[in-house]
Structure 1
């Protein structure tokens, strides 16, 4: 399994940048996920020359196309877990910010494996959505000819404040990105403290985007 599509469809996770007037809205999270993914993939293909000049251009695409739909604050709280109660309000706000930037960089590295000429994504049947639900898991499959499909499940929740479906976790071949990062960050907090963890995440977030080499650990 590659982290390729791990973040390839992470393009479909969700935050709260709903101040953006162009934000895509759909009461059906399955349809929303597909729309956001297609917008992102289309832009990657259209701006491939800029990406080839600098892989850091992925940051721009991810920030503008994906992050308006990634619930990074909710995900950050889940990652902190029990450590959340031991932080000050200032530390929490700083952690939320650097964790979002870290996600952008992580997604950017994963997208270096994406090739619009080779990969396609199959989306879950939108008719599976039950009206009135507030939490769903949307299944997708990344297809590359000659290789087994990569299974990716997106956990999404409805934000009543923003009136928007947001994804907060991605499960690739049964492995939760959120749970993996929670375990890593918990270990870092034990050794470095919350301030040291924030600084490490900031360093990782600011590293230049490079081709994914199979190591995304802190």
Structure 2
């Protein structure tokens, strides 16, 4: 199960750099496939630099991933019922802290990726009509000698940016967004929103090492 979570977290962060040319495609299936190929190619090309400085993975995540992740929508879902109990300032602070936290989390997840062992296949692509606003993109993680891992992206169309964005990943039928909501809600309940924000910030700032494991604040 831990291996599934590593893959889920790393793949969920498919995106493109805000400062570079953004990949545009009206079909979310093609879009995610193009960006995945670009992201994994960069990791392979910069493997030596990553091995020398694992913290560089945070840069890769920010530059190659974030704009195609609907981090605000995901943050609101994770905040859940505590949304109405927080001030506007607390919400904005939570959105930022949670975004920084998931960047660090996905950077750690990428320490588990080995381009010499892993392949990603996109399956069952479908045509998307102009009226579609939410789809599920199916992928499989292939590693020789092991059963394929099923990963389904929950993707929604963001009309403001006119881009399809991933906000959840269902790993072998388990929603990671729902899992995060449950885990972080328990922290908010025990420690309060301000302490939860501080905890997320602290974890986001911790350095990355190649033997890191993805961890959840508790």
TM normalised by structure 1 equals 0.93
Structure 1 residue 6 displacement after superposition: 1.2
Counterpart-to-counterpart distance in 2, 1:93 and 1:104: 17
- 2:183 aligned partner: 184
Structure 1 residue 10 displacement after superposition: 1.7
| Consecutive unaligned residues in structure 2, runs of 5 or more | none
In 2 relative to 1, CA 13–138 (structure 1 residues): closer, same or farther, beyond 3 Å?
farther
1:36-63 alpha-carbon deviations (Å, 9 max, x no partner): 1111000000000110001111101110
Structure 1 residue 129 displacement after superposition: 3.5
CA-based RMSD of the aligned residues comes to 1.7
TM normalised by structure 2 equals 0.93
Counterpart-to-counterpart distance in 2, 1:37 and 1:10: 10
Matched, 1:5 2:4: no
- 2:123 aligned partner: 124
* Contact in 2 for aligned 1:124/1:139 (Cα 8 Å): yes
**Count of matched residue positions in the alignment of Structure 1 and Structure 2:** 215
Counterpart-to-counterpart distance in 2, 1:197 and 1:114: 29
Q: Which runs of 4+ in 1 moved over 6 A?
A: none
Structure 1 residue 11 displacement after superposition: 3.1
Counterpart-to-counterpart distance in 2, 1:208 and 1:117: 25
* Contact in 2 for aligned 1:140/1:152 (Cα 8 Å): yes
| Consecutive unaligned residues in structure 1, runs of 5 or more | none
* Contact in 2 for aligned 1:13/1:71 (Cα 8 Å): no
